Chain A
Amino acid sequence: MLKDFFGKKVKVINLGIASFAEDLRKQGVETIHTDWRPPAGGNKKIQALLDKVASWQSKVKSAKGAR
């Protein structure tokens, strides 16, 4: 439930603007900044293929976890 998230410590993965991560660090928030760049060099076809693999693996991991 969303309300169960209230009150928990926020821990952040930051993708994009570096200053957002810097500001969070200043406040002592556990943050990891990502030196993000367009996936697959911006190639949509390759992105789509990678997404298929990710989607497949997501299912495999859930199935394994369910065992």
Chain B
Amino acid sequence: MVISHLIKKQTYFDSVTLMLIGSQVKKLPGIDSTVVGMCTDYNIDSLKRLSMYQSAFDGLTPNDLIICVKAADKQTADAGIAEVEKRLASRKQPSGSAELPPSSQEEAASRLPEANMVVISVPGEYAAREAEQALNNGRHVMLFSDNVSIEEELKLKTLGVSKELLVMGPDCGTAIINGTPLAFANAVRSGDIGIVAASGTGLQEVTSTIHRLGCGITQAIGVGGRDLSEKIGGKMTLLATRALAEDPATKVIVMLSKPPAESVLKTLYAELKNVGKKIVIYFIGADPKAIEAQGFIAAHNLEDAAIKACDLSTGKSHNSEMSEDQIKKAAASSKMNGKHLRGLYSGGTLCDEAQRLLLPVIGEISSNTPVKGCKEMPDVYKSSGHCIIDLGDDNFTRGKAHPMIDPAYRSERMLQEIADPDVGLIIFDVVLGYGSHLDMAGEMVAAIEEGRKKSGRKPLLAACICGTREDPQNYAQQQKILEDAGIKVFPTNVAMVSFARHCLERNK
């Protein structure tokens, strides 16, 4: 093996761009590994771990770019470097002007002073500072970055609340504000349902389903996963809820979250009781009866939350897009030729939902992000038994782009699962919308067909598409690609999981 490297000092690119390019070049023939990244402690560790660290990297800073390629021979390694450079150079800058783009928030603000929203996806250690600057300048914040401390979050949200400005995050992947999808979000028509959510894919699933059922939204406000913790006290949730309560366009409010901390719940319920509009609450994993006892409408799952919201919006009753009978029929004509289920999810909330709905049926499920009652996987890279995995979780995304953007690892894992003789059924989500890969179905099918060919095995496959026909991907085409490959396609995670349940019950 030969290692070639190239250092570009004082040359900064965002981590996603670099990881994607590294991942693409790694696929080229003869290339064993690539590390394309800024010289951060994390990347230095990666280089050392891969035995690719070069003494030339000593003394470099996080502002210096390292391109390092390991290949069978020098010619291939050098070609790999050249390929990375080519892709970096041809990366189109979104700013169409001949002028150099601004390099700071301040400069950007001076060029677009009417900006009212700052979307922040810079490394966590810098994110809070940028968010604070945005708020001090009277702008709302979408804080996609994670690795922001809870103390920083508290400071930002306190500031945001005092100025009636949104602080959506940290670690907030999805929002739709004034009809504008931000980060990973779907194209959803406008209507009269307002949503406050502490969950990214949960919000995507609910908003997409609302759209497909013919209704629409006013706002889909993400508040970040820790907002309803004791320390943060639900600051953004309360701010958003009050605003939706006063918003004449919003008729129905949906609240999606993990169960809030006890101390926050009391204040939250009191606030919600003052809203004076219909409210649907889905506290993932909580007992719906406890919520109903408070006088609110409780949803049982994400699909149900969307249906109930639409019912309240129109005054009419809505049905699931796929009936239980249709799902049963699909299961009846499907045979599992292996004992176990594997779930390969890119959306964390969908992964959780699958675990919760299947645990009563299967009894023993392991996961890298186990919900109550499920087991922790001893080795996240090796599945055994019934296994439902969140591939977007930290242990898989260190140094790699999120599976919704880059299907590389999920494809690799799919091959592994198909080859496993214990596996009878594999389920996975295909999340459409802005920010997501433009042809996830194509990528997954390519991996599946390769897996089938290599192993000679054909486990049952089912997918759910989270999205709408207005999304940048072509929903109908994505569906067709999956169906043509013999994969059963479902409109929601709940429907797909129901199918899995029926298959597993038949298989007992």
Contact = CB atoms under 8 A, between A and B. Distances in A.
Interface in B59-97: 61-63, 91-95
A37 B10 CA distance: 10
Nearest to B166: A2
Nearest to B123: A38
A10 B112 CA distance: 12
A20 to B, nearest CB: 6
Contact of A58 (B104, B108, B121, B136): B136
Q: Which of B105, B117, B119 counts the most chain A CB atoms within 10 A?
A: B119
Q: Which of A11, A12, A24, A54 counts the most chain B CB atoms within 10 A?
A: A12
B165 to A, nearest CB: 7
B117 A20 contact: no
Contact of A2 (B16, B243, B435): B243
Given A10-B180, A11-B116, A17-B144, A22 B94 contact: yes
A38 B130 CA distance: 10
Contacts of B61: 41-42
Nearest to A37: B12
Interface in A1-33: 1-3, 5-27, 29-33
Contact of A7 (B92, B133, B178, B244): B178
Bin the interface of chain A by size. 35 or more
Interface in B150-191: 164-166, 177-183
A61 B246 CA distance: 33
Contacts of A2: 164-166, 239-240, 242-243
B378 interface: no
Nearest to B179: A10
A10 B126 contact: no
A36 interface: yes
B107 A34 contact: yes
B92 to A, nearest CB: 8
A65 interface: no
B180 A5 contact: no
B95 A33 contact: yes
Nearest to B240: A2
A41 to B, nearest CB: 5
B17 interface: yes
Given A11-B117, A13-B117, A37 B63 contact: yes
Given A6-B247, A31-B94, A12 B115 contact: yes
Interface residues of B, number: 67
B325 interface: no
A17 B16 contact: yes
B247 A3 contact: yes
A58 B138 CA distance: 12
Interface in B31-49: none
A19 B402 CA distance: 13
B94 A33 contact: yes
Given A12-B119, A23-B434, A30-B112, A35 B17 contact: no
A14 B177 CA distance: 15
Contacts of B140: 5
A64 to B, nearest CB: 16
**The 6 nearest A-B residue pairs measured at CB:** A16-B121, A37-B12, A2-B243, A23-B434, A10-B180, A21-B94
Interface of B: 12, 14, 16-17, 61-63, 91-95, 100-105, 107-109, 111-112, 114-123, 126, 129-130, 133-134, 136, 139-140, 144-145, 164-166, 177-183, 218-219, 239-240, 242-244, 246-247, 249, 405, 434-435, 472
29 contacts: A2-B165, A3-B247, A5-B116, A6-B243, A10-B177, A10-B178, A13-B109, A13-B112, A15-B108, A15-B119, A16-B120, A16-B121, A16-B122, A20-B144, A20-B183, A20-B435, A21-B119, A22-B94, A32-B95, A32-B101, A32-B102, A33-B93, A33-B95, A34-B105, A34-B107, A38-B62, A38-B123, A39-B129, A41-B61
